Each structure stands twice: as C-alpha cells, then as structure tokens.
A = this chain, B = another copy of it.
Amino acid sequence: MSDPLPVITAFRWVPDFARGVVRDMRVRWALEEVGQPYQVRLVDGISVKAAEHRCLQPFGQVPTYEQDGFTMFESGAILLHIARTRTGLLPDDPAQAAAAEQWVFAAMTSVEPAIQDLGLVNIFEADQPWAEARRPISEARVRSRLADLSQRLGDQPYLEGLFTAGDLMMVCVLRGLTGTSLLADYPTLEAYVARCQARPAFRRALAAHLADFDTTPPLAA
C-alpha cells in the first residue's frame, strides 16, 4: 500500500492581483518538480481564520501541508521538506544543498520584503495619501536588490548552475513584481524568470493553481 497523498491548502477565491502568486503556488511547483501527486483542500477567507485551520497554521494563512499525520506550514519550510525528502530540487552534496537553501532564504528574506513593501504602496495602501510619495522610495529598494541579484546571476542559467529549490523560490518572489514594469529593466532577471517559468512543472502547477479558483467572490459572511 502506498503512502497517502500529501494534502495542501489553497484559497478558493482571491482577487485578480493575487492569482498566480498565492503561496500554495510555491508548494504546487515543488511537488510537480519532484513528481509527487497531491490533493488540495480549498479554504476561504473565513475558514482560514477559524480555530480548526489555525491548528495547522497559527497565522491563518495558506498553504499548509499534511501527509500521513505529519503537518507543517510556511511555504519555505514546506519547500525544503519536499526538497529534502524527494529527488530533484536539492543537490546530493551537503555543501551544494546548503548553497541552494541559502537562495531560498535570500529570496524570502532579502528580496521579498522589498517587493512586499512595493505591494503595500501599489495595492494595499494605494488609496492612502502617501502612496505616490512613497513609491519611488520603495521602488529604489526593490531596484537595489534586483541589481545585486542580476549581477550575481550573470550569465548562469540558474543561481547555482543547476535548477534548485532556491531558483523556485526566487522566481516565485520575483513574480510578485507582476503588474509593475521593474523587471523589464533587468533583462538578465527577466530571462531567468522566463527560463524557470518555461519548465513543465511550473506550467502544470500554475494551471492547477489557477483552475482551483472560483470565478466569483464568496458572499460576505
């Protein structure tokens, strides 16, 4: 008898700007890369904050990951768990695996905070009177990270030569710039994102991620 399939959680509906970038996308892509089928349990904005879901995810977010009684949360941690227990996302050599993992952290803790701040400016605080004045400050922080990342990537296809979990997370983070024109100013990075997004595993994951959304928002509670 084979192990039960992993179950992840994802949102049943999100606004258009979030489609393609909700964090279950990261886990779906990882599972596709390693060839692991999975099931999805859809949640909504109310159930995700309920006590039952918070047992799995204390901050009331998605995704979560469950398999055979083992549960965890945080897309970065789930990615590393998948990468370490299956083949295809981390080199076997421990030093090379550590190098790949450092890019998972670099993506989430050195690059993503700047991109999230720009998301505050452009989306969540877009109606605030300070949005226009804050935008250039926030964009300058993003550009600084993109310039450094582009410089490091150079003419390599991937951050550590071969595609790893680090590239998967970095590309998911850079996809947070969709809707801005920033990435177009860094052709090295634009080509890198396109290269990673051309992977069949990415395309399958994105198709499944998008297909799971309802077309109309839920009724307010």
Contacts and interface: CB of A to CB of B under 8 A. Distances in A.
Interface of A: 54, 58-61, 70, 72-78, 80-81, 85, 94-95, 98-99, 101-102, 104-106, 108-110, 112-113, 116-117, 120, 125, 128-130, 133-134, 137, 145, 148-149, 151-152
Contacts of A54: 148, 151-152
25 contacts: A58-B106, A59-B106, A59-B148, A60-B148, A61-B110, A70-B95, A73-B106, A74-B105, A74-B106, A74-B110, A76-B105, A77-B101, A77-B106, A81-B101, A85-B94, A105-B108, A109-B112, A112-B113, A113-B113, A113-B116, A117-B117, A125-B134, A125-B137, A128-B130, A130-B134
Contacts of A102: 72-74, 77-78
A108 B110 contact: no
B151 A58 contact: yes
Given A59-B145, A74-B106, A76-B109, 11 more contacts: A54-B148, A54-B151, A59-B148, A61-B110, A73-B102, A73-B106, A77-B98, A85-B94, A113-B116, A117-B117, A129-B133
